[in-house]
A and B are shown apart, each in its own frame.
Chain A
Amino acid sequence: MIDRNDDGPILEIENLSISFFTRRREIPAVMDFSAVIRPGEALGLVGESGCGKSTVALGIMQDLGVNGRVTGGAIRFKGRDLTAMDEAGLRRIRGSEIAMIYQEPMASLNPAMTVGRQLMEVPMIHEGISRRAARARALDVIGDVRLPDPGRILDAYPHQLSGGQQQRIVIAMALMSKPALLILDEPTTALDVTVEAAVVDLVRGLGEKYGTSMLFISHNLGLVMEVCDRLCVMYSGEAVERGSIGDVFDEMRHPYTQALFRSIPLPGADKNTRPLKAIPGNFPLPHERPPGCNFGPRCDYFRPRRCDAGDIPMMTVPGNDRHGSRCLRFGEIDWNAPLPRAETQASAEIGAPVLQVEALKKYYEVAANALFGGHRRVVKANETLSFTAHEGETLAIVGESGCGKSTFAKVLMGLETATGGSILLDGAAIERLPIEKRGTDLVSSVQMVFQNPFDTLNPSMSIGRQISRALEVFRVGKTEAGRRARMLELLDLVKLPREFATRMPRQLSGGQKQRVGIARAFAGGARIVVADEPVSALDVSVQAAVTDLLMEIQRQNRTTLLFISHDLSIVRYLSDRVLVMYLGHVVEIGTTDQVFAPPYHPYTEALLSAVPIADTNVTKRHIVLEGDVPSAMNPPPGCPFQTRCRWKPQVPGDLCETELPPMRELGGGHQVKCHLAEDMLAQMEPVITLAAE
């Protein structure tokens, strides 16, 4: 064994290759991957789904399952090679020296064991300390992850905690034995943005406090920038670029990194003048990788017979701190060349009001307990929702899970009927018309694009038939042949090859499925399309393409688009007006510029601050919301946001706790539901400021 050198790196991965073996073939998941993490350093691992980043993490833990195997290279932890270690040796390291946190906090915790026992187990097996000492340690760590009432939490079962609390418990469990290395695999993806911001803040603080090194895996460049010191970008099993955050963000030297940055909506991007640039083509499947550079077929700088000639090694970028790129041409490319300007689109003209929603209310009755029944409770999903949407306009509806945005979509579509208030479509009331009572015209003019691409298409029906069926139901086309022609036109419209008509959904990628969903929604010439988080489940490079497609079709058809999202970056990029919802209430509404600039509603302010932005030129004010979104079954009295509002002390008396604030006009159609006085609102500073370029 090599003598441990305290100044040496904590983790050193050298030319690591990992493959999965199926009955038919070997599938290489990670190839020639190298990385170094020094004590106290946080390394970010970024890439799209399927690029092999999670496999690297599991490779470090030596937990690749029965089919996975390390086929080359070494993983040295404090000088010891983990790939050559036996089961008992690994067990001593797992949990005590290397700990791992992953995506689904609920799934990571044993549902049948109290949180306390799961926490105490860690030091008890690794350090052999007594139950009492372990409990004391657990109480300590729970305090460190800023959970209230540690004693009660220890005796709770995981399901009794909220998602944010569960993730804090998972983090606490990882910290119980004070590991030297912490691996975080998409630790916040399942959480709401404001909760995510708090967890990220916590992780960063703990990293500093314990001096733990971190490997932070994420698809979100903004998050990585906030947490990490260094960054490694992966594409199709390979690391394509690595270096410090500053170097990679500002002096990227790999075409894929550049393309990634150009496809995410950063402040300053605009759908009309500075549109996003999607990466053309698709992610290659592991067994269909091209020769030479994996990114070659999708790369703007590709040179035949050079880029596809042979394997490309990682090369050092001179002048920077350990900055490397896996691009043959990084020296020749003019990295500062401005993006070739896409033709500037005239912004769509906004027409007459199409949809008027007035004081809409939707209450549900639910049984308190599914099995035992019990007394029924009322969930107030929507409370006095009022707004107007115009022809050709994109109205964004923003809010975290449980804010009532999806319920509103259901009422609008006619899947539910309203409890009170009105929805007028072209002046006709539809709020109490369930879908089966709506005429074909009405049904086809209000359509929806769904969130989950893997769920939006019927898996046992071909793409062509699914679109044709929509045409049939909407009574488009007189004959079978006419409908078929129209179906092919629709495929053209969403830029899918016509051969796709005979494919089954499982043969399509997520982005392609979402395009079919869009084609289906526009089949009957929809006037209003509700898009419920249409891109949130897609990879960033695909998001841009799907968003732009949606915008393009909207412009052509002058459709009113209701864009439901929790992602403020994309909302800022594409919407004309924004409506912010919290616990069933509209708390702010206005044009995009009005909402994204002060004065804000306190919730909007926090939401803006919570969104990670992958741009080193942006300075952001740091606002962390404590606690979780209250249950809609048991909303707080008075202002719905008062339990988490940092401005509450500025309002005299207990107004916030007793009285629901009225909707206030701030000029130019900008409305806010808040008790704060005018001068207080005027004092608000912008959350995001762009440094002068």
Chain B
Amino acid sequence: METLSWGAIVARLLSQLLPVWIGMAAVFALSFGFKRRLGLYGQLFDSTIGMIGFAIVLFWALTGIFADTIITFDPLQQISGMKNKVPGTPLPEAVAGYRYYLLGGDNLARDVFSRMVSGATIVMQIAPLATLFAFMVGITLGLPAAYYGGRLDTFLSFLANLILAFPVILLFYLLVTPEIVQTGLPTYMAGVLFLFPIIFLVVLWNSRYFTQRGKRAAYLAVTLVLGLWLYLGVAWNADPLGLISVPPNILIVFVSVVFVNSPTVFRIVRGLALDIKTRDYVAAAQTRGEGPWYTMLWEILPNARGPLIVDFCLRIGYTTILLGTLGFFGLGLAPESPDWGTTINDGRKLLSIYPHPAIAPALALMSLVLGLNLLADGLREESLRD
């Protein structure tokens, strides 16, 4: 068999990604249909830039979700004779399965396309979730810092600046090493950081329903039971039911990314809250005797959501870059992991001779971050309108 031409490669790629196209078409059709009823998300479809961004992000999200049906080979499978082969190279006759390495083979004779698609799953699992946790931590600390001011603010701001003054890479090199995992430090950090979402939700319900005992008890019970179960499983690897567990090297990556992101979120939340604090509706809440947490979480926070959503998108992109950085320095994830950063790092050694193993994940990462940036831009533009 002959090596495929570029046109044939593209055609095969497109057909391989069929589940993604169906998913995208469905999401877009539904969103357009109910555009006017979907609030800010619906408005997004009025902005070209926002739509392009959303499409790219959706593409990678769906690729991550359907990775198992899209990939043509196991991302770790090595097929002899396929080392560093150019895109479109056919497989030796003897090997079963898909006939081509669509985007070529890497220096260990693995399929670049399948590795790139599997990389999307890893990024799409870690980046949004880590960003969400960073937001919970930043919000839970940023709101009181702005609301109370004074010493609490000075102390928390000092802590945030302390972490920000650390060069990120130094921090990663110190935290994300097998030796540190041995000491159990990541578990303790996870123990502290993962408490914040639970605290956040408990305070949220409590402040809202303190006048209605029944409702409060119900909401708190659900939050605490679910939250503590997840907490024990994720942070301490001690799920009583034995369903949830996170490998320690993933946990350390996750924790360090949350840790690095939260101070910035803290600063953003604090700035927004300082501004919104001066509004009359906050004073109105205070004059009817609302507690500080109600005021913070139900009066201030919902009105800061515009900029926060925009920053959330940008920050997922930034987290993706950080994950790539970790991979690039070979920190945290296993060396054979198909995540984009690690793959780029692997490919760069032979870059001047065989660029394709590094270029594919590089373009993937770049397009995802670009999509997130465009999405954020579209959201910002639309939320400023009217």
| Chain A residues close to B by CB (< 8 Å) | 413-415, 435-436, 438, 440, 443-444, 446-448, 450-452, 455-461, 470, 472-475, 517, 520, 524
Contacts and interface: CB of A to CB of B under 8 A. Distances in A.
B303 interface: yes
Given A456-B280, A458-B281, A447 B287 contact: yes
A414 B289 CA distance: 9
Given A436-B289, A458-B299, A459-B303, A475 B211 contact: yes
Nearest to B278: A455
Given A435-B286, A458-B302, 14 more contacts: A413-B286, A415-B286, A436-B291, A438-B289, A446-B287, A448-B284, A450-B283, A451-B280, A456-B281, A460-B302, A470-B288, A473-B211, A517-B284, A520-B284
19 contacts: A413-B287, A436-B292, A438-B289, A440-B289, A447-B287, A447-B288, A448-B284, A451-B280, A458-B281, A458-B285, A458-B299, A458-B303, A460-B303, A461-B298, A461-B302, A472-B211, A473-B289, A475-B211, A520-B284
B212 A472 contact: yes
Interface string B206-235: 000001100000000000000000000000
B305 interface: yes
A475 B213 CA distance: 13
Contact of B281 (A443, A451, A457, A472): A457
B381 interface: no
A435 B287 contact: yes
Interface of B: 211-212, 279-281, 283-292, 298-299, 302-303, 305
Contacts, number: 62
A459 B288 CA distance: 18
Contacts of B303: 458-460
A530 to B, nearest CB: 9
Contacts of A470: 288
Given A450-B284, A455-B279, A458-B299, A435 B211 contact: no
A444 B287 CA distance: 9
A455 B281 contact: yes
Pick from B284, B286, B299 the residue with the most CB of A within 10 Å.
Answer: B284
Nearest to B304: A460
B305 to A, nearest CB: 7
Contacts of A460: 302-303, 305
Contact of B280 (A413, A436, A450): A450
B146 to A, nearest CB: 15
A224 to B, nearest CB: 30
A458 B279 CA distance: 9
A411 to B, nearest CB: 12
Which residue, of B279, B280, B288, B291, has the highest number of chain A Cβ atoms within 10 A? Answer: B288
Nearest to A450: B280
B303 to A, nearest CB: 6
A456 B211 CA distance: 23
A342 to B, nearest CB: 32
A670 to B, nearest CB: 32
Contact of B288 (A451, A456, A458, A474): A474
Contact of A448 (B212, B287, B290): B287
B151 to A, nearest CB: 15
Nearest to B289: A443
A444 B290 CA distance: 11
B205 to A, nearest CB: 14
A456 B284 contact: yes
A435 B212 CA distance: 21
Nearest to A449: B284
A80 B355 CA distance: 68
B281 A415 contact: no
Contacts of A458: 281, 285, 299, 302-303
Contacts of A524: 288
A145 B211 CA distance: 60
B1 to A, nearest CB: 53
A517 B281 CA distance: 9
Q: Which residue, B281, B283, B290, B299, has most C-beta atoms of chain A within 10 A?
A: B281
Contacts of B279: 455
Contacts of A517: 284
Contacts of A446: 287
A458 B283 CA distance: 11
A507 B294 CA distance: 25
A335 to B, nearest CB: 41
A473 B290 contact: yes
Contacts of A461: 298, 302
B328 to A, nearest CB: 39
A21 to B, nearest CB: 15
A443 B288 contact: yes
B299 A444 contact: no
Interface centre among A415, A458, A470, A474 (most CB of B within 10 A): A458
B130 to A, nearest CB: 27
A566 to B, nearest CB: 18
A560 to B, nearest CB: 16
A634 B109 CA distance: 80
Nearest to B305: A460
Nearest to A520: B284
Contacts of A451: 280
A412 B43 CA distance: 44
Nearest to A434: B286
Q: Interface centre among B285, B286, B289, by most A CB within 10 Å? A: B289
Nearest to A457: B281
A520 B290 CA distance: 14
Given A436-B291, A472-B211, A455 B280 contact: yes
Contacts of A459: 281, 303
Contacts of B289: 435-436, 438, 440, 443-444, 473
B280 A452 contact: yes
B213 to A, nearest CB: 12
